Amino acid sequence: MRPAVVLLSGGLDSATVLAMARADGFSCHALSVSYGQKHSAELDAAARVARHLGALTHKVVGVDLRTIGGSALTDAAIDVPVDGVREGVIPSTYVPARNTILLSLALGFAEVVESRDIFYGANAVDYSGYPDCRPEFVAAFEALANVATKAGVEGHRMTVHAPIIRMTKAEIIRRGAQLGVDFALTVSCYQADATGRACGVCDSCRIRRAGFDAAGLADPTVYR
C-alpha cells in the first residue's frame, strides 16, 4: 500500500475523501490543522473519523490564523453569516490563504513519510465560492509541489488529489455511504457548540442538509 497524506477537517467531505483514498489502496496518514477556528468540535470529529476509517496515523498541527483575522471563522469581531449562499459572492467565511497553508503543511508531512500523494476535499460544485476549492488552484499547487520539494526535484512526482471536486454534495454523501462512512461522526457547522451540535442556518449547514435531502438519505446531524 502506497502512503498518502489526507487533509482531514472532520467534515463529511474530507471523511469521504479519506474513505476514497483507502478504497484506492493507499495507507493514509491523516492531517488536521488547528488554525484558530472558533470551535474545536471539528477537530474532535476528525479524530473520531480517523479512527473509524482506519487512518495509519492522525496528526494535528497548530497554525494560529487568528493573528491575521479577516474571516468569520477566525475573527471574533466578524459574525458567521446565516442568510445563505449568494452566487458570485465570496462569503466572509472564506479564510485567507487557508488551503494554501494547509496543503503546504500536508506537503511537508508527505515528504517526511515518503508519500507522493496528497488528498484534500476541495469541491467546486456545491460549495461557498471559495477560490482555493477550484480545479485551477489544485493544478497550480501541484505544480508548485513539484518544484518546491526535494522529492519533486529528484524526480519523484507529487500528486494533489481532489477526488470530489466535481461531485455534488448528494454524490459525495452517496459515495461516502457506499464506503461505510459514518456521517454521524462528522461536524460541518461553522459555529457548532462544544458537543458538536450544529446551528442549522450557516452556509455549511444549509449545504449539508440539502445534500442529504438530494441523496435521499437521513441526515444524522444533531442540530441545536
Residue 63, Cβ density class (10 Å: 0-12 exposed, 13-18 middle, ≥19 buried): middle
The whole-number pLDDT of residue 100 equals 97
Q: In the predicted model, what is the mean pLDDT of the chain?
A: 95
The whole-number pLDDT of residue 128 equals 66
Confidence of residue 144 (pLDDT cuts 50, 70, 90): very high
Summarize the confidence of residues 43-64 as an average pLDDT.
Answer: 97
User: Whole-angstrom Cα distance, residue 88 to residue 71?
Assistant: 18
Would the pTM count as exceeding 0.75? yes
The whole-number pLDDT of residue 48 equals 98
The whole-number pLDDT of residue 88 equals 74
Q: Hey, which CATH number is domain 2-215, 3.40.50.620, 3.30.930.10, 3.20.20.390, 3.30.70.20? A: 3.40.50.620
% of the chain surpassing 70 pLDDT: 99
Distance of CA 171 to the CA centre of its chain: 16
Summarize the confidence of residues 212-216 as an average pLDDT.
Answer: 97
Confidence of residue 202 (pLDDT cuts 50, 70, 90): very high
Confidence of residue 1 (pLDDT cuts 50, 70, 90): confident
- The pLDDT tens digits for 62-106 are 999 999 999 999 999 999 998 877 777 888 999 999 999 999 999
Summarize the confidence of residues 174-201 as an average pLDDT.
Answer: 96
Summarize the confidence of residues 5-31 as an average pLDDT.
Answer: 98
